[in-house]
Amino acid sequence: MPNKIAFNDNYPNISQSDEWYMRALKVQKPVTQTLAKGPGQFSKGVSPKYLVKGKGSHVWDVDGNEYIDFNAAIGPLSLGYAYPAVDNAIKAQLEDGISFSLMHPFEVELAELIQQVIPNAEAVKIAKTGADVCSAAVRVARAFTGRNKIFCCGYHGWHDWYIGITSRYTGHDLHL
């Protein structure tokens, strides 16, 4: 008997996802700065567009569908969503404030911890976004080598050194 291959037509209902997307299209251009999260990366008409909850390796979309998140929040979520130790530490810190006008000792502790895990990291720089760290790495490399050209592939954020070579280049610094 020959093998039979058929597409799964038991797709989830994503009507709420689509409604949020229609609202977003009117006020956000593009709807997300992080391309990897955008609807253009996933199967149109089938994949959810908005997630509202995560627990462990599972996530739930705005329509209530449950999925395994193989993307792991595009990489960083190695402990899973709502990991108790992480969440409890965040909740405890909320009581004391989370953004200050001066440095916080946690920055030193984090840098020391990272250096223990990565012994050849001569120094640790803390930043908030992927685009920031990529731009910092490019700037350090240019300063150290005295060279200008950067070889890159994939997505690296919206800063001029990178976005200037993509189809979203309008407005980038032409002198780079």
Ligand X SMILES: Cc1ncc(COP(=O)(O)O)c(C=O)c1O
Residues that bind ligand X in the complex, under the rule CB under 6 A: 34, 36, 74, 129-131, 134, 154-157
Least distance in angstroms from the C-beta of 89 to ligand X:
22
113 or 127, CB closer to ligand X?
A: 127
Nearer to ligand X, 49 or 63 (CB): 49
Q: Is the CB of residue 75 less than 8 Å from the CB of residue 82?
A: no
CA angle 21, 53, 50 (to 5 degrees): 10
Which residue is nearest to ligand X, using beta carbons?
Answer: 130
- The residue type at 131: A
To the nearest whole angstrom, how small is the minimum distance from the Cβ of residue 13 to ligand X? 28
The closest of 70, 90, 74 to 82, measured between CA atoms, is 90
Kindly state the smallest distance separating residue 128's Cβ from ligand X, in Å.
Answer: 8
Minimum Å gap between C-beta 35 and ligand X is 7
Pairing state of beta strands 58-61 and 51-55?
Answer: antiparallel
Nearer to ligand X, 16 or 32 (CB): 32
Spatial contact of 164 and 173, defined as CB atoms under 8 Å apart: yes
Q: What phi, psi does 36 have (nearest 5°)?
A: -65, -15
Whole-number minimum distance, CB 161 to ligand X, in Å? Answer: 12
CB closer to ligand X out of 60 and 158:
158
Q: How far apart are CA 165 and CA 119, in angstroms?
A: 35
Residue closer to ligand X by CB (options 18, 35) is 35
